[in-house]
């Protein structure tokens, strides 16, 4: 079985950028595999607390790290002009050569509110899916051809020359739950991000029926993570995390929760189901403490190196 990669979802809501950057640096120092930048234009629960913007933070994190993979998890494509997105992401790849993975999606729980507040056209679900597909095609065309032209429903580009240009095919990962989006993953994506851990096996079965699977598709799984040195400490940390931690379902039963042994076993279960990477949104403790607990107590139980091992 291949090694399980561990990624960290960076804190973006109600935090100063210095804390977001500190989390990225802690992940790199702890030898985690990736840092992921969520894409929310609004802080629905605490509007005045604010939220940092994804592409801006992605570029900054790319410049301030040296080893970890970096990427958005996931960009809402209906809020982006595909040719301009191709240029921006090519720049991030130039800042972090070989480390960019592009996560794309059709929009999450704040999509409608962002459309209303920021003046985006509110696309129907089928239109949003079409926008994702067109964005994938546009990115690949503009990154591979020189000059490149693209003629789609949502964007046009004529004789575009993107330089610096990616020197490799940049992996494109799609977040998907429903059958139409999973069909799109099977047809056009390099990877699939499963938005909920308890949907991993079902989603992989659906992709297998479409002829794709872990042998030719990278599979990552998003999960809320609440850790503690003991089960009691984990429950205290879950209480500290507050109601926002439960927006994606009960953390204890559906995500990654518990003392280091229980967390390691849960990560092992997700790997056994077919995940090659688990992307953790750690809650309940300061991010430095969370990363230290993950790296020092959980990863060795998975046979992964603690910081400084082998240095």
Q: Is 296 helix (H, G, I), strand (E, B) or coil?
A: helix
Judged against a pLDDT cut of 60, whether residue 310 lies above it is answered with no
CA distance 131 to 274: 28
User: Quick one: tokens of 197?
Assistant: 């851990």
CA distance 12 to 91: 22
| 253 alpha carbon, distance to own chain's centre | 22
Nearest in space to 224 (alpha carbons), one of 178, 290, 273 = 290
The pLDDT confidence band at residue 307, using thresholds 50, 70 and 90, is: very low
Nearest in space to 20 (alpha carbons), one of 29, 33, 8 = 8
Nearest in space to 65 (alpha carbons), one of 101, 87, 35 = 35
Task: Report all structural domains of the chain as residue ranges with CATH numbers, in order of start.
Answer: 5-302 (3.20.20.30)
Summarised one tens digit per residue, pLDDT across range 199-237 is: 999 999 999 999 999 999 999 999 999 999 999 999 999
Per-residue burial over 212-222, b if 16 or more Cβ lie within 10 Å, else e, is: bbbeebbbbbb
CA distance 218 to 5: 11
Judged against a pLDDT cut of 90, whether residue 299 lies above it is answered with yes
Summarised one tens digit per residue, pLDDT across range 242-291 is: 998 998 999 999 999 999 999 999 999 999 999 999 999 999 999 999 99
């Amino acid at each position: 079985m291949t090694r399980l990669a561990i990624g960290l979802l960076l804190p973006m809501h109600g935090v100063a950028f210095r804390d977001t950057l500190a989390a990225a640096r802690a992940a790199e120092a702890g030898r985690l595999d990736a840092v992921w930048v969520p894409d929310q234009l609004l802080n629905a629960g605490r509007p005045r607390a604010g939220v940092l913007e994804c592409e801006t933070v992605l570029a900054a994190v790319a410049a301030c790290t040296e080893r970890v993979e970096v990427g958005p998890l996931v960009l809402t494509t209906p809020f982006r002009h595909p040719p301009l997105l191709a240029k921006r992401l090519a720049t991030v790849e130039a800042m972090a050569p070989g480390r960019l993975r592009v996560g794309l999606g059709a929009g999450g729980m704040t999509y409608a509110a962002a459309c209303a507040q920021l003046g985006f056209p509110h696309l129907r679900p089928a239109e949003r899916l079409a926008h994702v597909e067109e964005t994938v095609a546009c990115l690949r065309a503009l990154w591979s051809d020189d000059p490149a032209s693209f003629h789609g429903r949502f964007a046009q580009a004529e004789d575009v020359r993107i330089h610096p240009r990616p020197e490799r095919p940049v992996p494109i990962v799609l977040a998907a739950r429903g059958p139409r989006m999973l069909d799109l993953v099977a047809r056009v994506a390099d990877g699939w991000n499963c938005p909920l851990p308890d949907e991993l096996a079902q989603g992989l079965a659906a992709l297998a029926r479409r002829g794709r699977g872990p042998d030719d598709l990278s599979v990552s799984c998003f999960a809320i993570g609440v850790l503690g040195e003991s089960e009691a400490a984990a429950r205290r940390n879950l209480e500290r995390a507050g109601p926002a931690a439960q927006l994606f379902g009960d953390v204890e039963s559906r995500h990654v929760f518990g003392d280091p042994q229980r967390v390691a076993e849960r990560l092992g279960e997700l790997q056994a189901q077919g995940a090659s990477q688990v992307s953790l949104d750690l809650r309940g403790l300061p991010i430095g403490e969370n990363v230290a607990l993950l790296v020092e107590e959980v990863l060795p139980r998975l046979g992964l190196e603690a910081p400084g091992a082998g240095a």
